[in-house]
Amino acid sequence: MKFTLLSKEDNDRSVYITGNFNNWDPRDVNFQLQLIEDNKYFIEIADQILPENIEYKFTRGGWENGEIDRHGNVNPNRKTEKSLQEINDTVDRWRINWGPFKKEFSPLVEIISEKFFIPQLNKTRKIWALLPYNYHSTNETYPVLYLQDAQNLFNEGSAFGNWEIDQKMSILAEYGRGDVIIIAIENGSEDRIKEYVLDHNSITENAEGKKYIRFLADTLKPYVDSVYRTKPEREFTGIGGSSLGALISIYSGFLYPEVYSKLMIFSPSLWVNPENNFPVMNFKNPYEIKVYLYAGEKESEKMTERIALFEKTMKGWETSNSVQLEIKTSLNPEGKHQEFYWSQEFPRAMEWLFFDSQEDPHELAEKAEIVRQTTTNL
């Protein structure tokens, strides 16, 4: 069967077709289209590969760069029948790193406190809450994700860029996947290393990580659950971060599995604990934990090697500690140790950690249309 595609928007990247014939893989090299002239592409797919009723979409190598209509809306699945044999399609526009972002779906950003007291450390810290865009117009309760390094998560002007989680949450909300509260805790600046490292070692002599993770679990979470409409159970609670923020999130999840069931671990500083001798003292109970593990292959010489070893270590705990770990490892061949790449990965991690991982990504387009219609009618 032959597919011909015309891109109305200039496109300098490869184009792929994905659908119910390749498990909706948006970057399947076996389904990359050939450029036959300016902005015109072609692919021929063997009939035996295709089902009788075909659903499909076009991407530029990922869902963050998928096709959209001229208004910036997510296109519904394209549908056709194998018997037609020849299809001509047009794409008006392409997403760029999940954009464009629609303000009507943007989360509501609140400052919980400019100086939230941390009794375990005798310090104060600025803490933010990002609430679903429709939080105040519903009576729903929500899962919660606690993220480290709030300075680099969504505010403009951060020294290293930011994850743009406010924009990414607006995209997830557009897809019908924005029903999560995010609590963003600013780091302690000059105290960041001390607070994100558990034990004394070569990088700090005054590690305060144990006190910090006690603050998160014993002080901050109870407060958040008392102020906001949360789902307080561990099944709906996650923690995460990047670099040292990811490292302390690993410790938090492993020391408090009764509190957290979802770990978002981006480019963890595993070099601080090369033996991977993380505490698993509370894993005597059969806790189920989901771990989304991400790293870029251009981060450092040993990053992917450490990630592979860490994943192997975690899988070993399943048999020795009765813990049930569900691990998803994502390696970006182009990824560097930068906020830009964590920003790209954030929506994928949110989708997998907090929503039904069995649901195909293409089904989100139909959910997005329902959400748009509902919002229009409000």
Structural contact between residues 251 and 227, judged by C-beta atoms closer than 8 angstroms: no
For the segment 326-352, the average pLDDT, to the nearest whole number, is: 92
Name the 3-class secondary structure at 140. Answer: coil
Residue 325, φ and ψ in degrees, nearest 5: -100, 130
pLDDT > 50? residue 37: yes
Q: 103-356+363-368, what's its fold?
A: Rossmann fold (3.40.50)
Write out the two tokens for 58: 């076009």
For the segment 34-50, the average pLDDT, to the nearest whole number, is: 95
Q: 2-94, what's its fold?
A: Immunoglobulin-like (2.60.40)
Q: Quick one: pLDDT at residue 156?
A: 64
The secondary element (H helix, E strand) that includes residue 192 is helix 192-196
Write out the two tokens for 74: 């997510």
pLDDT > 90? residue 275: no
**Cα–Cα dist 148/215, whole Å:** 13
Question: Could you tell me the pLDDT band of residue 144, with boundaries at 50, 70 and 90?
Answer: very high
Domain boundaries, the chain: 2-94, 103-356+363-368
pLDDT tens across 50-70, in order?
999 999 999 998 888 899 999
Q: Do 2-94 and 103-356+363-368 fold alike per CATH? A: no
Determine which of 121-135, 217-231, 273-287, 338-352 has the lowest per-residue pLDDT on average: 273-287
Bond before 347 cis per omega within 30 degrees:
no
Structural contact between residues 247 and 271, judged by C-beta atoms closer than 8 angstroms: no
CA 101 remoteness from chain centre: 16
pLDDT tens across 84-136, in order?
999 999 999 998 877 788 889 999 999 999 999 999 999 999 999 999 999 99
pLDDT > 70? residue 371: no
Helices (H), 209-321: 209-214, 221-227, 244-255, 303-321
Q: What's the pTM?
A: 0.82
For the segment 20-25, the average pLDDT, to the nearest whole number, is: 92
The per-residue pLDDT of the chain, averaged, comes to 88
